Structure 1
Amino acid sequence: MCKVLLEWEYVDDAKLYHAYRNVISDTSSAIKIGESVTNSFWDNNANRNYFYWVIAANEYTSSDYPQNLIVGSPEICSYNTSTPEIIFDHEGGSYSFNVTPSFNSPECSWRISSSDDWINNISPLFGTGEQTITFTIAPNNIPLTGTIDIDGDNSFCNSTHSSVQVINNRFIISGNVMYFNSDTPIEGVKLTLEGDLNPQDVYTDENGAYAFPPSPNGNYHVTPSYTAPIPEMVITPFDASLIFRNIKNIISFDNYQQLAADIDDDGDADIIDVVLILGYSLGQTDRFKRNTWLFAPITKNYSLDQDTSEHYKGIVLGDTSGNWNPQGEIDTSVITDPAFIIELPDITDVSTNDQIQIPISITPTTGADIYSYYAVITYNPEMLTCTAVTKEMNDWIGPSVNTNPAGKIRIAALGLFPLDIDGVLLQLHFTIIGESNDSSPLTFETFLFNEGTPSVTTKDGSVSIVEKNRYILDLDIIGNGQVLVNDTFETLPWKGVFTENETIQLEATPLESFYQWMGDITNNHNSISIVMNRNKQIKAVFNRFDFILKKGWNLVSLPVIPVDNQLSSIFPDADIAYEFQQGGYRMVDRLIPGKGYWVKIPTDKTYPIGGLPFNSFITEYHTGWNLIGVTDQVSTPEDHSLTDITAIYEYCEGAYDIPYQFEPGKGYWLKKQ
């Protein structure tokens, strides 16, 4: 039979309680089943569910049936143990656990048993209430797994089965995870144990240590993983410079650095990895295409038969220098070091739409181990637009530049050999888009040599718009050719408007030859720079003639209309020059086109001259002998037999001769009747 326990609240002045039951909820046919002087009663013959009532009584009276009935069901006697599992080592020994029944009464008794003959001396084997069970295991050297069973003794109709597992083949896998370059502990790394058991995860503590719960004999593997974000400035252009120098065999990587350098996971550290790190450093991408955290070994296999310790090295992909630390972002603040100064200027003489270059100047770096630099410069995007960043050095990679978002410029560069420069490191190119009186700071948000060593002092700059005067450049040519204005061919004649003090580059491109610039500038170099500080008129003279003169006397005339007709400008070292007028010679210091002159030269020499074309002229000749000039074109003398011209002679190598053609640059004797 099963048992039902009835319990109720005490009633004042009650001396006795009568218990009744019925198979239906009806007090008129209820049967009295017993009495109790306490507030509980066991129905020991409950073979099913019943309705119960309890009536309180004393020597004078008894209560009525209560309004609230009790529905009673047979109790279940269960047995709880203090542990579900006992693990022991191969040396054996004494072990124990507690049994706690659900009812601490004689009716809820239990018995202990085991079918494993290596579990000995179980005591006690029977009992009631909570008790401690002890047993012994002899020394052994084989894997053992057994069970101690706890059951009811059949005095209760309903009871549950409990057991304690006794196992001896469990071992511990433990170790630590440290950063590869510094042996700094890495907290929070997940290590996953897989194999003969269901997967288990543990995490490293603040010391980088981990330990799995004891595991039975079997085959397992452990794999570390980590998803912590990478602080800014852990992966830098300096890491790319290390890869570049490793590629060129200037330095050698260890196995950990090789893993860190292989960004594209092709098994090798190459120039592609350099480019990927530069892109990451500049914010052009915020992640690589493989896991950011790597571990060595990647995984570890075990045939577990003893406690095992295994250590792992953590590696941030791209961090070939190993500068990661668990505190977070690397300190990139500028540390004062007078040895190195990076400076931006204050610029005030600019106007809207100007194209300007701003130098980043640097003190000498000779002798410093600088293999990379990284800069972040901010400016006002409502006043400036960055169009380019150019370098002064040609033997470094870069600069690589990211100008997004507007208002911030990220710059990175690296080299095989240390930076050796004094003067201008970079040129920032901007277009001015602001209005008059606008200004923009130029601020170094960050500047790093390598990864912060050596440190630098930075000096910020600014750009301010000041309304400036504007001037007109009036440009034309003489002769056949073209002119480049700031690298652009313009259709001539041409006029352009420029701001005050703006520098203009002019380059003459002749079809045959170039003589000089004339007007507000006189210069015979093809390429010139002019500063627009007033309105200017300039012509490029392409009409050039070369006098090839002999030592001594030469009979010449001007084939062009020169810019300057002084003898000293045309023939600077001439001893003297004469014209012939009205039957006599007269010394001259200026030469006029259309007239002939005797010029004495101290040595054989070529004299270039340029000017306006001289292709025709009208003059009056005097009776008798005249020294005449000719135009810039070769021509044949006309038949003068029917005119009043009686003779024409040229002078060549000390003798006179009758000319068959007029040649530019020569003078001639002409006799009029």
Structure 2
Amino acid sequence: MKKIILISSILAVLFIILLNFNFNHGGVLNYISPKSMYPFVPQYLTTSVLIIAPPYFPNTTGKIIDEGGYTLGNFLLNWSLDLSDNITSYKIYITDNEEVGFNFSNFNVSLPKYVNNYTDTTANQTYKRFYVVRAENEYGSDNNTAVWGKYDINFINTEENKGMNLISIPVQPLNSSIKEVIIQNESNYKISTLYRYNALERKYDVLFYIPSLGGWTTANGQFVSLEPGYSYWVKIKDNITYPFGGDFYLRNVSIQLYNTSDNEGMNLVGWSSIKRTPIKEAIIQSSTNYNITEIYRYNASSLTYDIIHYIPEEDRWTNASGKFTHFEPGYGYWVKTRENMTWLYLANNLTWRS
């Protein structure tokens, strides 16, 4: 295929040179039908004469936006424009179910080729929503499967838990800086403190939200962004449902786990995927080659941990308390390892098609 495209491109260039030579040297220009050149016209040749292939897909981004007050959840999509004759419109495909995926034979929104953004003002009516933007012309649409969207996390504040919730971010934000991920201001804020655990030093880096300063300040350590693979303790003032926006690309997440004399192998990690995944699929090990021995999931309502243990003799995980068999979006986990290791898992392993 690459050879065909290369040959087609060379022929197109030679044709243009020939036209230029005839025009500039008084030659007689004979009309050549575009159809007679098929299939030697290169794909994506954007002239007013002939387009024989779908267009390139647009470079899309997306994020949560604040439309005033604390009603977050509206989602803004932006994409790169192609104003040539190769584009007739942009189609937006939407789904609230990542397992069912998108119906690419039936678009949800159609926009003219000179529009490069779309705001979904109904996104806050569901706890998760996903989008794909595709460029279209008379020959069809591109095959873009870059997925952006939002995922909500519930935070609870009770007399017992003092507003402390252990969470991870199940999306990759467009901008991971804390002020871009957590949208609040002096007059309207609900999240007051963030804690990130440092397994090597066995301490927490802490950030406080200072309303009078309109931003976050560090008490010790240094972190300015919310990253995949980490878990965070989040302290809130009131019960809230908070939306996190970003992309849901298929990616590998790499987490370094440590076992030292101080931390006893305990690491605080995040599940940075929207796919609910069985523990045994997410942690690849065997009875003769294993490091991760225990996993703890915090329950903010009961202030207890559900715990599972790895049984090497049987090569399986077993519950010590509660029902806990999968890694789930939005949760943070304590993971105990016997040795220093790198845990690698595949995030968002979904087809996204229907």
TM-score of Structure 1 vs Structure 2, range by shorter chain: 0.3 to 0.5
Normalising by structure 1, we get a TM-score of: 0.22
Which one has the largest radius of gyration?
1
Normalized per residue, which structure has more helix? 2
Q: RCO (CA 8 Å, sep 6+): is it higher in 1 or 2?
A: 2
Normalising by structure 2, we get a TM-score of: 0.40
